[in-house]
A and B are shown apart, each in its own frame.
Chain A
Amino acid sequence: NAGVMQNPRHLVRRRGQEARLRCSPMKGHSHVYWYRQLPEEGLKFMVYLQKENIIDESGMPKERFSAEFPKEGPSILRIQQVVRGDSAAYFCASSPPSTTAHTEAFFGQGTRLTVV
């Protein structure tokens, strides 16, 4: 049973370009979470999605950031017109349909975005 798969592992973008980060959850998992980790900081929640629905996007910046989890295919975190401050590690986590507050999260290895 493959774990949470994120790609690419490393992504370099010039300022103003778009970044697309992909996350395939573990088999059977229908909940996806995106977190951002800035250097020397902890993980910050960005968005929580279920298939075709955004459940909680309270951690998403108001502009340039969007996320989706379509019926088929991976979840996508999209950052438009990237700026240097977007450079960070972006982690995806998934959990099973019976998720509650006491469910452990399974994390991917992250995508390290560098904006030059």
Chain B
Amino acid sequence: SQKIEQNSEALNIQEGKTATLTCNYTNYSPAYLQWYRQDPGRGPVFLLLIRENEKEKRKERLKVTFDTTLKQSLFHITASQPADSATYLCALAGSSNTGKLIFGQGTTLQVKP
């Protein structure tokens, strides 16, 4: 069955460093992969989308890579700030092309000042 895995352990880093989060998937060939941010008690907020034919996508301090051979996406936050502390969710677009998303369980990032 389709499976998406993100680091279950929280990631703790120092302010100013680069945070790198991993998303691995199996038994799936997504055309698109999305990353969302979720704060406690809030709904997910869209951050970035990357297509299968794109290796890398950037938006301000965020960078996403997508390796369809390894079946892996990496999500980087450069010059991290305490305000970046949140849970980050990886999501794959459903094969039915309807907008249905399959989410990983998320990785919690804690940036210490």
Contact = CB atoms under 8 A, between A and B. Distances in A.
Interface residues of B, number: 28
Interface residues on A, range: 20 to 34
A91 B38 CA distance: 12
A101 to B, nearest CB: 4
B103 A44 contact: yes
Contacts of B36: 107
Nearest to A92: B43
Contacts of A106: 46
Contacts of A104: 34, 46, 49
Contacts of B49: 102, 104
Interface of B: 4, 30-32, 34, 36, 41-46, 49, 51, 89, 93-94, 96-106
